[in-house]
Structure 1
Amino acid sequence: MAFSDVSTPDVGALFERVPKATLRAHVVERLRGAILAGDIPPGAPLVETSLSERFEVSRGPLREALRQLIEEGLVVTVPYTGTRVAELSVEDVHEIYSLRTVLETFAFEQVWPRRDDRFRAELRRRNEALIASIDAGDDRASILNELEFHGLVYEVSGHRLLQRAWNGLRGRLQLYWAAHHRAHGRRGPKRDSHDSYIKAAFGADLEAMRREIADHMRRGVETTERFLRTMPTSSGKPKRGDNS
């Protein structure tokens, strides 16, 4: 049985029978992985009947899994249309860039006087985990590890509203990074992509950290935009914001 009316090569291999003990978690993991890998394309419909048959699960755990992916921003519910994989527009890339720049700068401003050896050691550890996933060619793991790397400053800030804003952005960031990696034809960011970021984070110049955050967010954005402009929307129309 087809996954949906969208034809996807070898999609059946992605959906083996799920152990009942962890039904929702397995459905979430496999759907998330397929979305981030591009195996289920942006805008593809997620039909409950087909999914429940494919996973051999009831509608209950399936709906719970879809609800979690909606909260993560990877899946959306469109009125009168149904549930679909979220699409990432050129405007989304600009919004992600501008919002992350503001949020991460503010986060570092909050923690700047409180950076200590534990903060530095943990940032190094998370960067090492990211590099390990890049070396292993595991794109999904590299995306999650990059989220954990950047998430540290939000965690340390202790600012609850800031942490909520970061958590609300994570799903879109996963879509952005997955598109960014495909745009560059690689399975994760460059190994040294955070070297200057770590150097600034460990330094004594807050203004240098602000500049590094802005530069870090800007790197690769134009390439990702060009990649997104080549991808049709679910309606087959050009991406919004494509002025070419």
Structure 2
Amino acid sequence: MTARRPKPTSDGFARVPKDTFRSRIADSLRSAILGGDIAPGTQLVETALAEQFGVSRGPLREAIRQLVEEGILEAIPYTGTYVIDISVKDVDEIYSIRRNLETFAFEQLWERRDEDFRSELRRRHEALTATIDAGDDKASLLAELSFHGTVYEATGHAFLLTVWHGLRGRLQLYWAAHHRAHGLRGPRRDGHDAYLRLALGDDLEAMRREIESHMRRGAEQTKAFLVGRERLPERRA
């Protein structure tokens, strides 16, 4: 028996099956935000979105609440819900936190890296490379998060993993801005080769240096893009 396809609404959005309302709406909104179709700082209007998705406001609010928890949306009391806008200050803070968190994670795990960790890190690197080869920028953002998340998950450090999960949403927005800054369809194909090699190697100090360098390059490029965006209205005046 052939599965029924979602029926499109008049403005092009596919109506969402009832059993997956929240997750599909969240996935659609996340994809639109990371792809730049919904711009940073945009206020979400529930009535319009409910009409576009062909759903009631209940599951829509659940999906919005999920993205607020992920750090992609911000709910301001008595005002509304907005797409988070990444600033230069945000990039500096993300860089400083990630550099220290990821270094700490490897320090915690270094002597306990086993074949399961090595195999999983290779597998996730291959999955990331596949999304880049496919030119799927949005999938590559999630694959890159999954790749970097391997070390956090392997530590068994519950609080560290909680902090990492709290940072993921902002990282998605940060990387999306970085990709748009350079017209990229995902990370560079060889961008994680050195990281992978050193993470599987025996030199912890070299791994520390790679984490610092890997994250600093991305932060500097993204900051340059954001500074240029902020100056754009002045140039048009």
* Letter of the structure 2 residue corresponding to residue 186 of structure 1: L
- Map 1:89-238 to 2 at 5 A: 89-231=87-229
- Report the more deviating stretch, 102-111 or 19-28: 19-28
SS at structure 2 position matched to 1:219: helix
Per the TM alignment, residue 39 of structure 1 is displaced from its structure 2 partner at its CA by 0.3
Length, aligned pairs only: 224
2:75 paired with 1:77: yes
Per the TM alignment, residue 230 of structure 1 is displaced from its structure 2 partner at its CA by 3.2
Give the % identical residues. 64
* Letter of the structure 2 residue corresponding to residue 30 of structure 1: S
Partner of 1:29: 27
Partner of 1:17: 15
Aligned equivalents of 1:62, 1:151: Cα separation in 2 = 28
Aligned equivalents of 2:119, 2:25: Cα separation in 1 = 34
SS at structure 1 position matched to 2:78: coil
Consecutive unaligned residues of structure 2, counting only runs of 5 or more, are 1-10
Per the TM alignment, residue 237 of structure 1 is displaced from its structure 2 partner at its CA by 8.2
Aligned equivalents of 1:159, 1:107: Cα separation in 2 = 9
- Report the more deviating stretch, 21-30 or 221-230: 221-230
* Letter of the structure 1 residue corresponding to residue 98 of structure 2: R
Indicate the RMSD between aligned Cα atoms, in angstroms: 1.6
Q: Deviations over 1:4-38 (max 9, x none)?
A: xxxxxxxx54x322122211111001000000000
TM-score (ref. length: structure 1): 0.88
Per the TM alignment, residue 222 of structure 1 is displaced from its structure 2 partner at its CA by 2.0
Aligned equivalents of 1:74, 1:47: Cα separation in 2 = 16
